[in-house]
Amino acid sequence: MRCSARLPLGAHGPRAHWAWVGSEQIHDGNSNQRIRQLMRILMLIGMFCWAGKAMAAQSLHLSEGDVFSYEFQTLPFKVGPLLGADNQGIALVSLSASDTLAPLDVIRLELFENGLTESPFRTLTMSGTNAPFVLTEFGQSHAGAWQDLQGAVRLTMSSGSVDVSDLHLSVIREGFEYGISVSLPPTVAVSVPEPSSLGLLVVSAVLLGGYTIRRSRSSHRSCAAMNPASAR
């Protein structure tokens, strides 16, 4: 808010008072600017935390007994020619960045040549107990598979639970690679931020609102103090 006041000419007292008030206003303005910057930083941190949690939630949660299948009719060209590459089909499953296979987690990956109605030509069962290291992804390949660029895969959670983020399918045919990466959808469409992130946003909003109200009241009092006639 812009303030103005009429002061008697030649009166050193009021002019000295005006100089002191002006200095206080400058100091208060610098301090308020730092407070506003701090409020903005806090709100940005809260928004980034919220966005990070929402992005982390973009995965497919599989619990015991859950089944996920994916069928494809074609695969786009990726790269080539690849010298010395054998014809084969490859399926790779990536787990969420915040999850790994625990000792009691058992998941089965099945590959089908044409569709889910036929028997799988390859089956891989993985668990945290038979993994020699911290497992964040797993998969398998099969010579001569999916050469017509169509097929299917199926994931079955035998025990435990796991969060799957991506499914990568690739085919090498006559020295050229075809493939696709599928980002698996979340089971919950709307992600609710954790209390820490939500609390940070709420606290920042409350502080910023309180500061705005206090600043507005302080500005009105300064105007009234510098212009007694308008206060009456």
How do residues 147-196 score in pLDDT, each as one tens digit? 999 999 999 999 999 999 999 999 999 999 999 999 987 443 333 444 55
pLDDT of residue 4: 44
27 versus 149: the higher-pLDDT residue is 149
Residue 48 in this model has a pLDDT that exceeds 90: no
Q: What is the pLDDT averaged over residues 108-126? A: 97
Q: Is the distance from CB of 140 to CB of 122 less than 8 angstroms?
A: yes
Domain 60-183, CATH class in plain words: mainly beta
Q: What is the pLDDT averaged over residues 96-120? A: 92
- Domain range list for the chain: 22-56+191-231, 60-183
Nearest in space to 36 (alpha carbons), one of 212, 203, 202:
212
> Model-level pTM?
0.58
Cα 90 to Cα 111: distance, rounded to the nearest angstrom: 9
Residue 134 in this model has a pLDDT that exceeds 50: yes
Q: Is the distance from CB of 171 to CB of 90 less than 8 angstroms?
A: yes
Cα 217 to Cα 224: distance, rounded to the nearest angstrom: 11
pLDDT of residue 6: 46
pLDDT of residue 8: 47
Helix (H) or strand (E) holding 58: none
Residue 81: CA atoms inside 13 Å, Cβ hemisphere, count?
Answer: 5
On average, the pLDDT of the chain sits at 75
Q: What is the pLDDT averaged over residues 95-108? A: 88
> What is the three-class DSSP state of 99?
coil
How do residues 31-41 score in pLDDT, each as one tens digit? 667 666 766 66
Residue 179: how many other CB atoms lie within 10 Å: 19
Which residue in the block uniquely carries the two structure tokens 């990536």? 94
